[in-house]
A and B are shown apart, each in its own frame.
Chain A
Amino acid sequence: MSLSREEILKISELAHIKLAEDEIETFRGQMSSVLAYVGQLSEVDVEGIEPAAHITGVSNVLRDDAVLAADPATRAALLDEAPAREGDLIKVKAVFK
């Protein structure tokens, strides 16, 4: 399975990742070779097998629906990591124009 230049550009859109011009062709070759390798999975007979997202067998681990507040120092440290702030709010780019 070989990816086209257009497909690489589409995937970079999906992944929100900018590629440099010279990387487009490099990634095209490398990702195509990985997809060719994993393509062998289509040869495996999986008739009647349920997919396994994980192997623990646990499902729906629940906790009380309660707010667990961080201590003030941790809260401050978390906020300190934000690239842009206004007071105790994290400032982000406008989502809507």
Chain B
Amino acid sequence: MEPLHQLTIRQAADGLRDGKFTSLQLTEACLERMRSVDGHVHAVLEALEASALEAAKASDARRAAGGALGALDGIPLMVKDNMQMKGSRTTAGSKILEGYKSPFDATAVARLAAAGAVILGKANLDEFAMGSSTETSAYGPTRNPWSLGKIPGGSSGGSAAALAAGMCLGALGSDTGGSIRQPAAMCGVTGFKPTYGRVSRYGLLSMASSLDQIGPFARTAEDAALILEAIEGEDPLDSTSASRARYAAPRLPSEGLKGLRVGLPKEFFAEGMDDGVRARVEEAAKEIERLGAELVEVSLPSAERALAVYYVLMPCEVSANLSRYDGMRFGLSVDAPGLKETYFETRGQGFGREVRRRIMLGAHALSSGYYEAYYLQAQKVRAKMKAEFDALMRDVDLLLSPTSPSVAWDLGEKFDDPIAMYLTDIYTVTVNVVGAPAVSVPCGFANDLPVGLQLIGKAFDDALVLETARRYQGATEWHLKRPML
């Protein structure tokens, strides 16, 4: 058997059920792993050792009394540090929230706790989830466990790296333009962005509210589904959370993928992709075909505009959402003579460059004289994209593409070039703009670094996306590879 900290959630749940080990042993194994490797990886901003051990003991006691809760009971998980969790500090990777203690729980975190999960700590991220490399964190970058000189992807790079490095069995991230899928691809783990509205955003520090969605990182698609089932569902505290049916068994034959129509959007296979990524994704497509699915070339012309739509809508929403960080009610407050000076100094010193850049872009795009050309126009193009996507998805069940055009790059390589950094989101942002579900699963290596395959579904078809990924993983072994650390 693999070491405890390398188990899948399913394996660990079975082991706990069969009395092979306890949640306390599992939790201690993860904490020990964190102590031995996180000095190199820097995936964790705050280890919650005492409360984790307490939760593990409580889980073991429940189980001993015959009251185990479900698959997540006693399973050690990590939470991205932009989610509120009582008893933890929540910094969102920003100096403006240094020392802030969560007064309440995010719904997703509360639901994990209610399912018996053990929360090990808070994972590093790009500041306020703004970035694609986890380098904009005010607390220093996270490193890729596969190659410590490389970025882990972002913005949920800490969650992805902690899982890849064996510090936890799964993690929560958030995905506004690819922030779960892209680091999952770069770190060789499974990452799932649910349909917009499936998971409550209550207690997630808002970045771009019409795009943000919480979702799981796991070693397998099956594990990701277990986490999703625990956290999904309507929440009176988030008016955009959906009342739609919960996770349901998909319409597939008992095995294989016969009957499934998978579209390969030609816009996603145009130039601009590394050769190694293209080769791995084409091999993965052949494997999906071998499992019985029918591959069809399709076209989603507006996808070429998705990044431009995203880089208007997102900064606009950011500039509105981050106005709350004003030094008055919580967080950093820099003392200055007057009210306005306090705002300027607090926000000038508290926010890092990428965050300030995006707030300012949004403030400009929303300002008088520019609103129609930028924000209103982007909203119209978004509506057009959504209509085009919905029409396409009446013809196919899933879309298949790379998750990212490249494998992990060197730390610092794109740090001062926002456009180069933004372009790395080219295959992921469309999904957020139209609100669809999508998964990234490991599909091989290029230059010894993991490559991710993206499968995109129609809204609320999350179960089909994850089940297809599960069957792909049933036929391949890429998700079983672990970095040497």
Contacts and interface: CB of A to CB of B under 8 A. Distances in A.
Given A18-B348, A37-B419, A74-B103, A53 B308 contact: no
Interface string A62-97: 010000000000100110111110000010111100
B240 to A, nearest CB: 6
B305 A81 contact: no
B380 to A, nearest CB: 4
Contact of B347 (A16, A74, A82, A93): A16
B309 A41 contact: yes
B345 A31 contact: no
Given A33-B419, A41-B309, A56 B435 contact: yes
A46 B386 CA distance: 13
Nearest to A20: B348
Contacts of A74: 103-104
Given A77-B103, A80-B101, A55 B434 contact: yes
A38 to B, nearest CB: 5
Contacts of B373: 42
A80 B99 CA distance: 12
B20 interface: no
B357 A44 contact: no
Interface of B is mostly: helix
Contact of A19 (B302, B323, B356): B356
Interface of A is mostly: loop
Nearest to A51: B379
Interface stretch (B254-262, B291-299, B335-343, B393-401): B335-343
B330 interface: yes
Contact of B240 (A30, A58, A95): A58
A55 B386 contact: yes
B308 A55 contact: no
A80 B344 CA distance: 23
Contacts of A52: 379-380, 382-383, 386
Nearest to A91: B328
A82 B330 contact: yes
Interface string B347-371: 1110101001101111110010000
A78 to B, nearest CB: 5
Contacts of A14: 360, 363-364, 367
B418 A33 contact: yes
B266 interface: no
Contacts of A20: 348
Interface string B104-136: 100000000000000000000000000000000
A81 B331 contact: yes
Contact of A30 (B309, B332, B418): B418
Contacts, number: 168
Contact of B360 (A11, A80, A93, A95): A11
A50 B383 contact: yes
B25 interface: no
A70 B87 CA distance: 17
Interface in A1-50: 3, 7-8, 11-12, 14-20, 23, 27, 30-31, 33-35, 37-38, 40-42, 44, 46, 49-50
A19 B353 CA distance: 9
A11 B307 CA distance: 23
Nearest to B354: A30
A51 to B, nearest CB: 3
A15 B302 CA distance: 31
Given A16-B347, A18-B348, A95-B339, A55 B356 contact: no
A92 B328 contact: yes
B380 A46 contact: yes
Contacts of B378: 38, 41
Nearest to B433: A55
Contact of A15 (B239, B327, B359): B359
A12 B364 CA distance: 9
A55 B435 contact: yes
B379 A90 contact: no
B453 interface: no
14 contacts: A11-B367, A12-B360, A14-B363, A15-B347, A15-B356, A15-B363, A17-B356, A34-B311, A38-B378, A41-B374, A50-B383, A63-B236, A83-B331, A84-B333
Lowest 8 CB-CB distances: which A-B pairs, in order?
A: A18-B348, A51-B379, A83-B333, A77-B103, A61-B239, A52-B383, A46-B380, A81-B330
Interface of A: 3, 7-8, 11-12, 14-20, 23, 27, 30-31, 33-35, 37-38, 40-42, 44, 46, 49-56, 58, 61, 63, 74, 77-78, 80-84, 90, 92-95
Given A15-B347, A34-B361, A46-B377, 19 more contacts: A14-B363, A17-B351, A18-B347, A23-B353, A31-B360, A33-B418, A37-B422, A44-B302, A44-B381, A49-B384, A52-B382, A54-B240, A55-B386, A55-B433, A58-B240, A77-B103, A78-B103, A93-B339, A94-B338
